[in-house]
């Protein structure tokens, strides 16, 4: 029940993705990104969830991280699966903030490309981050060769 409530509360951060993707230059978007309220909010929800998990069953679940079977066993538990989902949402949001803030400051990629990359981060996390790093590296190298 606690984890379902945390999951519901996490959805509040979703509209911020739309701001980052669709309205990157809007003053409210820049303000919210600069104070990083949504990654901190998701991190706080995750902390509540992980403390609840530890209080309920101790640190025993950590031993399951060492094998594929253990991870599958953990993820088969609905409460733990929701906690892991919250963990992913939080990290994706932090990565999205990083890419947004870094690109808005340095303009390694045009804003439409930034929006595509942020969508990739939202949907596929590491894929979007890797694409951003590759494009940023190409842009930096092209500036050096000029």
Cα–Cα distance between 49 and 4 in angstroms, integer? Answer: 10
pTM of the model: 0.91
pLDDT at 144: 77
Residue pLDDT, tens place only, 88-111: 999 999 999 999 999 999 999 999
How big is the chain, counted in residues? 146
pLDDT, averaged per 10 consecutive residues of the chain (146 residues), comes to 91 94 97 95 96 89 87 91 94 97 97 98 97 96 78
């Amino acid at each position: 029940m606690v984890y379902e409530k945390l999951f519901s509360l996490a959805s509040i951060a979703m509209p911020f993705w739309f701001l980052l993707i669709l309205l990157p230059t809007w003053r409210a978007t820049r303000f919210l990104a600069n104070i990083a309220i949504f990654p901190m909010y998701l991190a706080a929800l995750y902390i509540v969830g992980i403390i609840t998990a530890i209080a309920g069953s101790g640190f025993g679940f950590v031993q399951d991280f060492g094998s594929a079977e253990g991870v599958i066993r953990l993820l088969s538990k609905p409460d733990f699966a929701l906690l892991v989902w919250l963990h992913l949402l939080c990290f994706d949001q932090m990565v999205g903030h990083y890419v947004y803030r870094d690109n808005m400051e340095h303009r390694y990629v045009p804003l439409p490309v930034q929006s595509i990359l942020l969508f990739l981060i939202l949907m596929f996390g590491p894929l979007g981050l890797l694409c951003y790093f590759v494009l940023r590296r190409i842009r930096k190298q092209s500036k050096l060769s000029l």
